[in-house]
Structure 1
Amino acid sequence: MKELLLHCRPQQTVLALLEDGRLEDLSVERAGEENIVGRVYKGIIRNVVPSLNGLFVDIGIGRNAFLRTKDIISGKEPHTEGAAVLVQVEKDSTESKGPLVTEKVSFAGTYAVALMGTGYIGISKKIRDEKKRDFLRRHAKAICPAGMGLVVRTAAEAAGEEDFKKDLASLARLMEVVEKRYALEKGPALLYRDGDLAVKSLRDYTGRGIDRLLVDDRDTFLRLSRMAEEESLCDPEKVVFYDEREPLFAHFHVEEQMHQLFDRVVSLPSGGSLYIDYTEALTVIDVNSGSFRGKGMPHDQLAFLINKAAAYEIARQIRLRGIGGMIMVDFIDMAKKEEKEELIRILQAAVRNDRAKTVVCGMTSLGLVEMTRKRTTQRLWQYYFDPCPLCHGTGHILSAAAAADRILEDLENRRARGPFRGDLEITANPDVAAALGKEPFKERLEKTVGKEAAVKENPAFTRETYTILSV
């Protein structure tokens, strides 16, 4: 059974997809921190940088976006600084980079995706009935105005003729509105923003075999019920208001499954485990056999068994955690070529239903599997955690011994410039102060200063913070 749970609060909305009670997809939207991916802007070109194969565009968010040369629509006049440009956000900004934008603007409807600046008409490859493909293509061409293309989605195969036409007409009107606003607005300006997470829950999920959508906020429930009926997005009876005493996520055990997504180690049903580590542009996943030991099972067979279980879980974890960019997976070594090829096929099948474009590139000579996943949102942990102010996200802090050694080196450098004129008072973190009071640091301190120095503790100091005063 597939269920969508929409948990609404004034500061945050969370959408969870459950299959037979197991969390399979997750989206988070914070008030005031909405995802800007998909928004359309009239931008102003600030810098053209041929060496970077792109240009920087001011879209009015306080941080310039980057437009790659390959994302510029061909056949247009060369871009110059100060010129206006119509762009859509493709990737959100990170800590060190601004957002990535494209001139290839598109709008997603229930049954099709509209494309600006092209006359291309495409039909989903998953629609195999040739009569249906011809029917959809004819209606798409009849409705599309000049300069608008379409990619018909898989959901259109089961759509009624009137519903399909209505959706295409709505997309055509939306594109016309954006074009008019682009002509009238002075850039930089926001021209279009996608619906909130509640709207996306109907538009993007209900066509994927969802049995019901449970909403725990009455106003949101009424709004979605009206949309489902007026826009024929789904059967209105599938939208259900949840008003039980126990909180929605607690009742369906979503909270405890979410908490597991912040762990570095993920246990596998086979007894193996995954270790997930992040960098700015790369995520590394290591598959470990852990405590699993097959009774009398050969190593190759054991490795393949664990790797298969890992492949399914990896696809689920990168989807739930919002992992994007480059992904490297270190599976357990396997000797047989056919098992390696089978593992790649399993992983490709496991990521096929991911809403974000995910590509399994293959296995390197070192046995590492390369993957890429389009980064459309922040990683899940970034919605709930800030980098540690002590370690700045590294996971490590200076040891007390290393911090004490730094203080002594500082004193030795000062001593080399001349003798200390008065008594010294050193204030440091309690752990560092304790280290300075023990050998060999105590003897070295007295030798450097030439006398006994007063060492005081300050719990507010980090291990890297200290003061040296002459009293």
Structure 2
Amino acid sequence: MKQMIVHCSEHVTRMALLDEGKLVEYAAERGEQEELVGSYYKGRVINVLPGMQAAFVDIGQKKNAFLYIDDVLHPHLEKQPPVKPSIDTLLHPGQEIIVQVRKEPRGGKGARVTTHFTLPGRWMVYMPSAEYVGVSKKIVRDSERNRLKALGERLRENEEGLIMRTVAEDEPPEAVEGDLETLRAQWKGILRRADQAEAPALLHRDLSIVQRFLRDAFDPKQDELIIDSARAAKEAEVFLEDMAPGRPGAVKLDEAGDSVFVRYRIWDELNRSFARKIMLDGGGTLIWDETEAFTVIDVNTAQYTGGSTLEETVTRTNLLAAEEIGRLIRLRDTGGIIIVDFIDMEQEEHRKLVTDRLESVLAKDRTKTHILGWTRLGLLEMTRKKARQTSGVVQAPCSCCGGTGRSGTPDFAAAD
């Protein structure tokens, strides 16, 4: 069973997801800083750069958005030309275009946008021009995959594409079809607003943080939503009824004086999980360093001496670390290149045990992680997509060191 714990303050809404009592996801949304990912804009092309195969699009934000050639070509790979054309044959300055934000602005970079449009629903993801039907790989029964594939092919029209989500497993055709009709209506509304608006203009914004997690990770039949705001609780009940009509909601209002995050020890767990040094059960440790290019995680036995041999001690520590790393990657929403320096193991079968343990934990993550394998130096490489910013609402860069973890020595400060 999962529990969604939602804490609403004057300026920030925070959501923590517990799975069997363990904190596995966290997100926050500031009222004055709404997220852009998933939103649709009518933009105007400002620059087209053939040398970069990219264009910059004004969507009304501080920084122009970045549109790469792959996000302009047809979303179905089989429909793309064998040789990529130059982007200046597809776009020109001054051209107005509908784009969807796929990655938040970060640092000095603008948002990453695409013309491969997607509208996520409860049971499916709707793609107006993808021309194919896909089924979540997490649905393993061939009979159910074939049923959903056939259902999608029957329901889709013209150039539409559909991806059947994991939660669509065993759902009746009427529920799936109702979801599709809702998404079609949303897309028609986006096109209608685009015809009427002058660029740059916002056409459609993604759901709020609570609604998004209800849609993507909540099962009204068995999960709980615990929320400390009467207004937000009522909104959640209405959303759940629209999402899963006729099914009893599981919204619990908790308006006690202290924060719901305090009672469920969410703050304590966030402080522990977002620290640089993280203690493992038994005494091992993780050292977690994030750079601009990638994340490095170092595993140490520290005080753990539980095995009868060195290899057994090392393997046990690495297995504990793999389980915790899988949870923390999801919780911290770590993205990009991830390098894990596990303690050296002599036997290949032990390395496979560690990889399998990590994969089993990451399989529960809704964001796909690709484990690339072990390098010649014994490091485990993986990549994970990240579209949203999460940790900024937990931690902020230190004003003294600028986020490096080190500040200048007195001698250096004097010389400066």
Asked if TM exceeds 0.5, the reply is: yes
CA contact (8 A) 1:202 1:233 kept: no
CA distance in 2, matches of 1:2, 1:150: 27
Deviation at 1:276?
0.5
Q: Deviations over 1:227-253 (max 9, x none)?
A: 222331683341222233443111111
CA distance in 1, matches of 2:245, 2:282: 40
CA contact (8 A) 1:44 1:188 kept: yes
Which residue in the other structure is 1:176 paired with?
A: 188
SS at match of 1:104: coil
CA distance in 1, matches of 2:243, 2:333: 30
Deviation at 1:34?
1.9
Which residue in the other structure is 1:33 paired with?
A: 33
CA distance in 2, matches of 1:317, 1:204: 19
Which residue in the other structure is 2:242 paired with?
A: 230
The equivalent position to 2:306 in structure 1, one of 285, 294, 297, is 294
Which residue in the other structure is 2:77 paired with?
A: none
Counting only pairs closer than 5 Å after superposition, residues 214-229 of structure 1 correspond to structure 2 as: 214-229=226-241
Which residue in the other structure is 1:83 paired with?
A: 95
What number of residue pairs does the alignment pair up?
404
Deviation at 1:130?
4.7
SS at match of 2:51: helix
The equivalent position to 1:254 in structure 2, one of 266, 270, 284, is 266
CA contact (8 A) 1:110 1:233 kept: no
Greater Cα offset, 173-182 or 230-239? 230-239
CA distance in 1, matches of 2:16, 2:52: 39
Deviation at 1:402?
3.0
CA distance in 2, matches of 1:294, 1:142: 58
Which residue in the other structure is 2:56 paired with?
A: 56
CA distance in 2, matches of 1:206, 1:364: 38
CA distance in 2, matches of 1:400, 1:346: 46
Which residue in the other structure is 2:338 paired with?
A: 327
Which residue in the other structure is 1:354 paired with?
A: 365
**TM-score, normalization by structure 2:** 0.91
CA RMSD of aligned residues (A): 2.1
Q: 1:290 to 1:65 in 2, by over 3 A?
A: same
Greater Cα offset, 328-337 or 154-163? 154-163
Counting only pairs closer than 5 Å after superposition, residues 326-345 of structure 1 correspond to structure 2 as: 326-345=337-356
CA contact (8 A) 1:44 1:57 kept: yes
Deviation at 1:135?
4.0
CA distance in 2, matches of 1:241, 1:263: 31
Deviation at 1:20?
3.4
Considering Cα pairs closer than 8 Å and 6+ residues apart, tell me whether 1 or 2 has the greater RCO: 2
CA distance in 1, matches of 2:27, 2:160: 30
Deviation at 1:129?
4.4
Matched, 1:397 2:407: yes
SS at match of 1:52: coil
Q: 1:387 to 1:134 in 2, by over 3 A?
A: closer
Q: 1:236 to 1:341 in 2, by over 3 A?
A: same
Q: Which structure: larger Rg?
A: 1
Q: Deviations over 1:391-422 (max 9, x none)?
A: 22222222122334x2xxxxxxxxxxxxxxxx
Identify unmatched segments of 5+ residues in structure 1.
Answer: 407-463, 465-471
Q: Which amino acid aligns with 1:35?
A: E
Which residue in the other structure is 1:317 paired with?
A: 328
CA distance in 2, matches of 1:125, 1:356: 13
Greater Cα offset, 69-78 or 272-281? 69-78
Percent identity over the alignment? Answer: 34
CA distance in 1, matches of 2:259, 2:105: 33
Greater Cα offset, 226-235 or 239-248? 226-235
CA distance in 2, matches of 1:275, 1:396: 16
SS at match of 1:334: coil
Q: 1:344 to 1:179 in 2, by over 3 A?
A: same
